[in-house]
Amino acid sequence: MSKIASQIKQTAVAVRSKIQRRGKPTLSFPLRSLTNVKYHPKKGFLELKGKKKTRTLTVATVKTFAQTLRMMSQAKTLVEGDEIMTKREAYYVSKNWDDARFDEQPESDTVIDDIEALFEVNREQLGFIPEEKGGEVAGKLVVIDRDSETGKKLRIDCTKFGSGAYSIPISVEHLKFETKAKFVLVIETAGMFQRLVKHGYWRQANCILVSMGGVPTRACRRFIRRLADELKLPVYAFVDCDPYGMFNIYRTLKVGSGNAAHINPFFCVPKAKFLGVTPQDIVDYKLPTHPLKDVDIKRAKDALKNDPFVQHYKPWQDAIQQLLAMGVRAEQQAFAVHDLNYVIHHYLPEKLAVPKTFLP
Amino acid sequence: MAKVRKTRLSSKRKAVGKARTASKKTTSKRKKSKKKAAKKVAGKRTGKALRVSKKTQPKAEKVLEESPEQADSFHSTAEDMARRQREISVAEFFMKNRHLLGFDNPRKALLTTIKEGVDNSLDACEEAGILPEVRIVIASGAEENRFRVTLEDNGPGILRKQIPKIFAKLLYGSKFHRLKMSRGQQGIGISAAGMYGQLTTGKPVVITSKTSRNQPAHHYELEIDAKKNEPRILVDETVKWKTPRGTKVEIELEAKFQKGRQSVEEYLEQTSIANPHVSLALVTPDGETKVYKRASKQVPRHTREIKPHPYGVELGVLIKMLHDTKARTLQSFLHTDFSRVSSRVAKEICEKAKVSERSRPSRIARQEADSLFKAISQTKIMNPPTDCLSPIGEELILAGLKKQIDADFFTAVTRPPAVYRGNPFQIEAALAYGGSLPGDGLARVLRYANRVPLLYQQSACAIMRSVLSTAWRNYALQQSAGALPTGALVIMVHMASVWVPFTSESKEAIAHYPEIIKEIRLALQECGRKLAVFVRRRRKAAESERKKAYIHKYIPHIAVALREMLELSEPQQNTMVRQLTDVLERSRS
């Protein structure tokens, strides 16, 4: 029996014996919030502090309690049968549970996240896989995968996708890599990625380009992490200059999230550096801007106050202060104001010439 | 344009004047049809006058301006006026102002007629210590909108010589001159009903009465002479009547029979609630018989008559009493003609008024009544006796309510007696909640004065004011600002008093005396507290029932999940369900 399966069984045994002793069974989960994480500079990611929330079986919690146990049982079946299930499929399977069924998918997602945190594993290990895919890759990288039918090695050359790109699979643990590139450039928007791919920027800069499409998925983070660790490549992030780009996208990429902190050790890229766009870039490159929205200001202040990562790095605090003082934000595609390919010919080369100026 | 309008007005006035004289000549019987004719005439005249005046108007105005003294011919001299000044009989007055007595419209007239009859029967029965049985028959009359109402009771009967005056003379009765708790007060009701019948159908009131098994029954047909306020006897005979004892009244009147709110049926239902010792039967024009059964064989305690309390009399009344008294000295007058005035208190009043206690009352009536009146209000006098009141009693209120209303919870309160303006009174309140009462609307309020239901003018009544100003939200009910509480609730309030202060002669609403409003509110609050206990307990029970169902819904799933994970057997799973239910139900409280 796998480790996970026996862990699930142990929990079930504990619940049962409590019931047999006429006690109220409990399940305790690590608290999933930014208040329960601390930044560990040496390890380079947000780490759980150990606060727990205990769900005791009462009249009020009986429904969720029943649902959690049924979902655990589902996970055990998956693990034992080496089967996978998307979160959406898990939601549909619950429709067999009569009164304990979920009415909306977010409810079942929360229960899955709870179980994942309960056993401190990522949900893929429990057999639950996400619906979303991982992001796109182009440039000087060869991914070695296996043919699902024959089991033979497949060499995928990421320079051979023309104007398209290699799509990061949901699970990346079995992949192997070969490369001669010097660094990985991680890009927020698909639009900017398209521009760089079309003009073969990876050839010019000798790099691997990865498009995240917003907040990077777990697979995307794990993929970049493995590139960074196994190929010993520096990772530079190129995102919008706004609190969302800085703290939702970049911070999650670099140190992980507060919501699923138990998986951060694997799903973060501590080596990542912030290439741009920085508040100073707005000034230096005379970028057209938009005023900060209320939610941006709120997010920035919240980061200053609560985010352990920001609290650890003075340069980030300064950057936020500067941004708040300017009261504006700028997108990475704003360089188009000078010239469509200004990014390729001026901005990126100029920034890459001095990596020391990158924000941590 | 303005001129034309003026003309029309003046000519109309003229026409109406003519019409009025025309109608005056006719007898009251045919008044209605004549009135119509008069209207027609008026219409014609208006038309003609308009046409004529269009030409003549400017001329007329000129004349008026030139010789103002000519207008004097329209004015009256003192002699003219004197010729028109004459006595108005009470009957004539009420004929014109029948709305004051509750005969505003045909529908209300039917109710008022029955109400007055039933009130009289019940009063008489109770005074004679008889358990009342009243039978009401409403039969369709000869014409549409005419009904023949027959009221028959098992009361003590009425002496032959009294019958004409009681039924065909306004303001004649036994109840006005004494302070005693009874349904009737003035002696207007039944004679007014007879008069209304006479007015609208021309038919006399028919009375049959028998005082005992051995006596013959008297049969009368009476009309009221509106001018003299005297009965006019049409038929006076002795008849055979099977009934051993009782009175039967038949009145034909213009009316409208309707069901629903403020109907005869509602009145009888409410009467039956507050008078559980009464047995009522109603035969509707459709031939349907409705019986309101008796729930108690206890005749209400006989009420004692009391003398007025000094605080309750007004100056005019005091003067009249001084004039009429048989007492020789002022001190003995005060002592014998009032409640709660001892010789010592009487002397104190005289001293305060600076009048000799040995002076003759009739002399005071002319000269020093005013200072005597003021002295009374400055003297501390004990509250009037309260044993003259006969409340329904909590037990009987509950019996009455349970008989007519299907509810889950009943509570009743009888307050201790209190006093307003020298008159003793006592408030009772009751609530009925839940059951088949409609739960989404406003609460229903049943108002009673001396056991008589009040159906009209709810908003003008002191009872309504008290109900509205009670904070029902404190008693687990919903209530919007300034409105009745919402929910399956019936609120009953009864005021018992030797003199219920009605806002009008039709006895529809109780006047707003602060003492009365306060007492009603206290009674309602007392009931409310008991209701709140019930409602909260029931809500709690419902809540725990809901929780129990909720637990039973999800516990099996916990057991199923554990069975799957631990590969348990079916019996083990069932054991777990039992154990879990045990654990959770124990934790509920």
DSSP per position, B356-424:
-TTS-HHHHHHTTHHHHHHHHHHS--PPPP-TT-----HHHHHHHHHHH---SEEEEEEPPPEEETTEE
- Number of residues that make up chain A: 360
Q: Indicate whether B64 pLDDT > 70.
A: no
**CB of A117 closer than 8 Å to CB of A54:** no
pLDDT score of B18: 44
Average pLDDT over residues B3-20: 43
Q: Tell me which chain B residue has its CA closest to the CA of residue A7.
A: B565
CA dihedral B83, B89, B92, B97 (to 10 degrees): 110
Structure tokens at A163: 């104007």
Q: Where in chain A is the domain with CATH 1.10.10.10?
A: 3-129
Instruction: Give the architecture-level CATH label for domain B94-292.
Output: 2-Layer Sandwich (3.30)
Active-site annotation holder among A39, A92, A285, A313? A92
d(CA B413, CA B415): 6
Contacts of B550 in chain A (CB under 8 A): 59, 62-63
pLDDT score of A267: 86
pLDDT score of A86: 87
**CB nearest to A72's CB, from B550, B555, B561:** B561
Average pLDDT over residues A46-52: 82
Q: Indicate whether B472 pLDDT > 50.
A: yes
CB contact under 8 A, B551 and A62: yes
User: Residues B352-369: pLDDT tens digits?
Assistant: 988 888 888 888 777 788
Contacts of A69 in chain B (CB under 8 A): 557-558, 561-562, 565
- CATH code assigned to B394-535: 3.30.230.10
Average pLDDT over residues B349-353: 90
d(CA B589, CA B581): 14
Q: Indicate whether A143 pLDDT > 80.
A: yes
Contacts of B545 in chain A (CB under 8 A): none
Q: What percent of chain B has pLDDT over 70?
A: 85
pLDDT score of B588: 56
Average pLDDT over residues A300-327: 91
Residue to mutate among A20, A61, A69, with most B CBs inside 10 A, is: A69
Q: How far apart are the CA of A52 and the nearest CA of chain B, in angstroms? A: 22
**CB of B434 closer than 8 Å to CB of B407:** yes
Q: Indicate whether B492 pLDDT > 90.
A: yes
**CB nearest to A19's CB, from B564, B580, B588:** B580
CB contact under 8 A, B550 and A58: no
DSSP-assigned beta bridge partners for residue A359:
A274
Contacts of B558 in chain A (CB under 8 A): 57, 62, 65-66, 69
**CB of A253 closer than 8 Å to CB of A135:** no
User: Residues B191-230: pLDDT tens digits?
Assistant: 888 888 988 888 999 999 999 888 889 999 999 887 788 8
User: Residues A174-193: pLDDT tens digits?
Assistant: 889 999 999 999 999 988 99
Mean pLDDT score of chain A, rounded to an integer?
A: 89
pLDDT score of B72: 56
Structure tokens at B517: 């409003």
Average pLDDT over residues B487-499: 93
pLDDT score of B585: 79
User: Residues B499-556: pLDDT tens digits?
Assistant: 899 988 778 899 999 999 999 999 999 999 999 999 999 998 888 888 888 888 898 9
Q: Indicate whether B268 pLDDT > 90.
A: yes
d(CA A249, CA A239): 8
Q: Tell me which chain A residue has its CA closest to the CA of residue B543.
A: A59
Q: A166 catalytic, yes or no?
A: no
B52-to-A71, A142, B16, B56 alpha-carbon distances in Å: 101, 117, 18, 6
CB contact under 8 A, A73 and B558: no
Mean pLDDT score of chain B, rounded to an integer?
A: 83
d(CA B497, CA B54): 64
| pLDDT tier for residue B19 given thresholds of 50, 70 and 90 | very low
Q: Considering only CA atoms, which of B438, B435, B453, B451 is closest in space to residue B508?
A: B453
Domain boundary assignment for chain B: 1-66, 94-292, 310-378, 394-535, 538-588
- Number of residues that make up chain B: 589
Q: Where in chain A is the domain with CATH 3.40.1360.10?
A: 136-357
CA angle A120, A122, A125 (to 5 degrees): 105
| pLDDT tier for residue B177 given thresholds of 50, 70 and 90 | low
User: Residues B113-137: pLDDT tens digits?
Assistant: 999 899 989 988 988 899 999 999 9
CB contact under 8 A, A15 and B584: no
Instruction: Give the architecture-level CATH label for domain A136-357.
Output: 3-Layer(aba) Sandwich (3.40)
Average pLDDT over residues B12-18: 44
Query: So what's the ipTM on this one?
Result: 0.73
CATH top-level class of A3-129: mainly alpha
CB contact under 8 A, A57 and B583: yes
Lowest mean pLDDT among A69-73, A124-128, A201-205, B347-351: A124-128
Structure tokens at A343: 């990014």
**CB of A346 closer than 8 Å to CB of A276:** no
The count of CB pairs under 8 A between chains A and B is 77
Q: Considering only CA atoms, which of B488, B520, B516 is closest in space to residue B501?
A: B516
> Residue B357: left if φ>0, alpha if ψ -120 to 50, beta else—which one?
alpha
| pLDDT tier for residue A218 given thresholds of 50, 70 and 90 | confident
| pLDDT tier for residue B60 given thresholds of 50, 70 and 90 | very low
CB contact under 8 A, A100 and B587: no
Average pLDDT over residues A102-106: 90
| pLDDT tier for residue B175 given thresholds of 50, 70 and 90 | low
CATH top-level class of B310-378: mainly alpha
Average pLDDT over residues B426-442: 92
A314-to-A319, A354, A359, B292 alpha-carbon distances in Å: 9, 20, 10, 90
CA dihedral B12, B13, B17, B22 (to 10 degrees): 20
Q: How far apart are the CA of A3 and the nearest CA of chain B, in angstroms? A: 14
Q: Is B545 on the interface with A (CB under 8 A)?
A: no
pLDDT score of A232: 92
Q: Which residues of A touch B (CB under 8 A)?
A: 8-9, 12-13, 15-16, 19-20, 22-24, 57-59, 62-63, 65-67, 69-70, 72-73, 76-77, 97-100
Lowest mean pLDDT among A160-164, B39-43, B383-387, B550-554: B39-43
Contacts of A70 in chain B (CB under 8 A): 557, 560-561
User: Residues B300-320: pLDDT tens digits?
Assistant: 887 788 888 888 888 888 888
| pLDDT tier for residue B299 given thresholds of 50, 70 and 90 | confident
